[in-house]
Amino acid sequence: MRERLKARIAAKTARIVIVGMGYVGLPLALRFAENGFPVVGLDVDPEKIARLGGGRSYIGHIPDARIQAARAAGFEPSTDHALAREADAVILCVPTPLTRHREPDLSYIDGTLESLLPHLRPGQLLSLESTTYPGTTEEHLRPKLEGRGFRVGEDFFLVYSPEREDPGNTEFEARAIPKVCSGCTPACLELGAALYGEVVDRVVPVSSPRAAEMTKLLENIHRAVNIGLVNEMKVVADRMGIDIHEVIQAAATKPFGFTPYYPGPGLGGHCIPIDPFYLTWKAREYGIHTRFIELAGEVNSSMPGFVVSKVTAALNEREQAVRGSRVLVLGLAYKKNVDDVRESPSVVIMEKLRDLGAEVAYHDPHVPVFPRMRDHHFDLASVALTPASLASYDCVIVATAHDCFDYAMILEHARLIVDTRGVYRDRAAHVVRA
C-alpha cells in the first residue's frame, strides 16, 4: 500500500481531499491544484462552497482568477464528506480555538474526523495541519483510527504537518516556505514528505508528531512573547515621554542579537493570541506553570484597554467625555491588507468604547460589513472615509494600518487621532500615540 500511494503521489494522480476551506485550507487546495493534482475542497459552509463553485473567492488576498484557474484544472468544492472515500490523501485544516476557560477546543477536529471515519479506507494518508498541543496526533487521532481497525504505518498513514500561512504577506510564495512534516511511523513520514514535497521546495522532517506540534507552538509563542515585550516597553516609554518607534528603529541598526518587533493595539488572528495557551494547558499535565508565556498573554490582552485609556485621556483634555462621543475606528481586520477579523483587537476596542457610552463606527474597505462572530456583535457596515466624515468624529483611532488609507487626508481632517500603529511619527498637536 505504501509503494502504491507513493507512486500515485509521484505521478500526481493521487486524489487530494482538503477539509476546511478557510485561510489555510483554501490556499493549500489551490497549491495542489496548480501543481496538477486532482483536488476536492470540503467545507460545512454551503455559502463558501457555492462561491468557490462559481469561481469566486471570499478571501480578499486570493483573487477570483486563481479560483477560476483551479476550477478549470479540476478543483472541486463540496460539502459531501463521502468524497473522502475516493481520496488518496486527506488533509485537515480546521479551526482549533480556545474554550471560554482558555483550554483547547478540539471539537472541530473531532467533529470532522467523525464525519470522515465512515468513508476512510485502507491505503490512505491523513494529515493534520491545525495548530494544537503536543500529543494530539498520537494520543487523540491515532486511537480513533485504530479503533476502526486501521493499522497506522501499515495500511493507513497518519501525518502531522503544521500550516505556515501568513495571510496578506506577499514576500513569500507558498512554495518557498519550508514545510515541517512528521509521521507516526517512518512510513508515515516518508509518504507525508513525498506528498508535501510535490508542492513546496523544502520539506523539513522531524522525529515525531509531538516534535512537529511543539515546533508550531514555538514559532507562534516566540512571536507572542516578543510582541508582549515590546508592548510593555511601549507603555513604559509612553509614560517617560519616549517614542518607542524611534527606539526600535535605533536598536534595529545593531547587526546582531536584535530582531525588531513592533507594538500595537493587541494581538489578532487565529494563531498568536490562541496557540500559546495550548502549550500552557498541556504543560500543566506535567506540573509546569508556564509563567513567562502567560505573562506575555496578559500584556498583549491588556493592550485594547491601554488604547481606550488613551482615548479617554485625550477626550478629557478636550473637555469631552467618552459617553456621547463619536469614535471612528480605522481598520477592523487584525492586520493590514487582509479581511480577517478573527481575534481582532479592533473589535475589543470598539466593545470597550461602546460599553463606556461612545457611538462607535468603523472604516475598513477589506471588511464592508461587520461579520458574524462567535463572541462579538455589531450591526455596522464600513462608513465612507471623506474629509467631511472624518471631521464629524470626535476621535479617530488608527487600529490597523492598511496601505489603502489616505493618511495625509486623515491627518488633515480628523479632529483627534489616536495612533496605535506608529503611522504618524512627526509630532502633531491632535495626534496621540497609543
Q: Provide the annotated active-site residues.
A: 271
Measured CA distances, 261 to 28, 210, 215, 229, 248 (Å): 28, 28, 20, 9, 8
Give the dihedral of Cα atoms 245, 249, 251, 253; nearest 10 deg: 180
CA distances from 376 to 346, 373, 420 (A): 11, 5, 22
- Tell me how far apart the alpha carbons of residues 318 and 321 are, in angstroms, rounded to a whole number: 9
Q: Please give the single-letter amino acid code of residue 200.
A: V
Whose CA is closest to 290, among 225, 223, 211, 213?
A: 225
Q: Residue 115 burial (CB < 10 Å; 0-12/13-18/19+)?
A: middle
**327: which strand partners?**
360, 395
b vs e for 394-432, b when ≥16 Cβ sit within 10 Å of the residue's Cβ?
bbbbbbbbbeebebeebbebbebbbbbbbbbeeeeeebb
Q: What are phi and psi of 19, to 5 degrees?
A: -100, 120
Backbone dihedral angles phi then psi of residue 369, each to the nearest 5 degrees: -130, 140
